[in-house]
Chains A and B, each alone.
Chain A
């Protein structure tokens, strides 16, 4: 068995393969952008991957785990194990800056950083990802996936998804 520290390039290759897996619901975001990928470790011919769900019931988790195994197999790691960890709990603060930018370009308003319970119960201000106007309104607190809400811009009249803060 080759110690991991002796083979940093192997570790990097496994990480790169896993980090390139995209969220099946938001295909512009990788699981690394999203902050769902927590850990990749190569030990001998085995790869251990840890991911965390955005929401408890997120149905994309099974799909993501499968995609990770396929991505690793393509890179020559047929022996992968994906486990789910809950702690520390995912919040929108785990999303990278790059992830926020990609979301906005895709037409989904990114979550405000440093969200808190106060933000959840207070007045929310969400900028339209299309025209940038702050004159927006909530249409539905629950959107097309568990992690999104549906909003509408009152300036350009476009409806848009908002990645829920939490």
Chain B
């Protein structure tokens, strides 16, 4: 049996909201993959908890995107019935977990951004986005603290943990530029004061992660060539595999409910 993909009218606000919803869902799903596999029990709980926060954020954002779109889509259809090319998340967040260092570097890069981003978005003229931001910034701050402490411990730990952390930073660095990129639809929302311009957050983001990475005795790459594409649906090969697991039930048993 096949289930066809839904169509979404991506007005700038719908597209914007879907992008953030996809970010939260995809990273939340990645973190959930650690459940039962983390190096220690406490960390298993931490990763699952952070994944749960992100899943909660994703649900609010998908529901809002569906309301703004005003057709018959809802949070579940948006999550389960769009194909890879319809997903709008950052490439950084779909990258496989790899080893624990790579998961934590990904978390540090993103939560340092999300912490600043959601705090700034609390001033959005859109009341729903401002409310979601106010909820998310508290959670992001917690994720940032957790991943920062791990990076310091890993980088300033053994030769092995140091080498793995440095390799993770070098590998993921090229995916960080996309967080600050702005395209035409998003520019129109920025001009109206509905959303903030992420480019302005980069100096502070760099300062946050530089502090952590220096304390961890690690170094940031100087290479500034950046990978992009996720925001417009051009993904790495990894997202399709992630979605095949995430969407399996609804694709195999359409309309299944608990």
* Chain A residues near B (Cβ < 8 Å): 53, 55-59, 85-89, 91, 117, 120-121, 139-144, 146, 150, 164, 166
Contacts and interface: CB of A to CB of B under 8 A. Distances in A.
A146 B50 CA distance: 8
Contacts of B131: 85-87, 89
Given A87-B130, A89-B131, A139-B42, A166 B56 contact: no
Contact of A57 (B57, B128, B130): B57
B141 A140 contact: no
**Interface of chain B, main secondary structure:** helix
B207 to A, nearest CB: 15
B197 interface: no
Contacts, number: 75
- List of 9 A-B pairs having minimum Cβ-Cβ separation, nearest first: A56-B56, A57-B56, A140-B42, A87-B131, A57-B52, A86-B131, A142-B46, A89-B134, A142-B49
B57 A56 contact: yes
B142 A120 contact: yes
Interface of B: 28, 42, 45-46, 48-57, 59-60, 127-128, 130-132, 134-136, 138-139, 141-142, 145-146
Contact of A117 (B51, B135, B141): B141
16 contacts: A53-B135, A56-B59, A56-B139, A57-B56, A57-B59, A86-B131, A87-B127, A87-B131, A89-B131, A89-B134, A89-B135, A89-B138, A121-B145, A141-B46, A142-B42, A164-B142
Given A59-B52, A140-B46, 11 more contacts: A55-B56, A56-B57, A56-B60, A85-B131, A86-B132, A89-B131, A117-B141, A120-B141, A121-B145, A142-B42, A146-B53
Contact of B135 (A56, A142, A143): A56
Nearest to A145: B49
A34 to B, nearest CB: 16
Contacts of A166: 138, 142
Contacts of A142: 42, 45-46, 48-50, 146
B142 A57 contact: no
Contacts of B52: 55, 57-59, 146
A57 B53 contact: yes
B142 A86 contact: no
A89 B132 CA distance: 9
Question: Which residue among A56, A140, A144, A150 has the maximum number of chain B CB atoms within 10 Å of its CB?
Answer: A56
Question: Which residue among B56, B136, B146 has the maximum number of chain A CB atoms within 10 Å of its CB?
Answer: B56
Nearest to A139: B42
Nearest to B46: A142
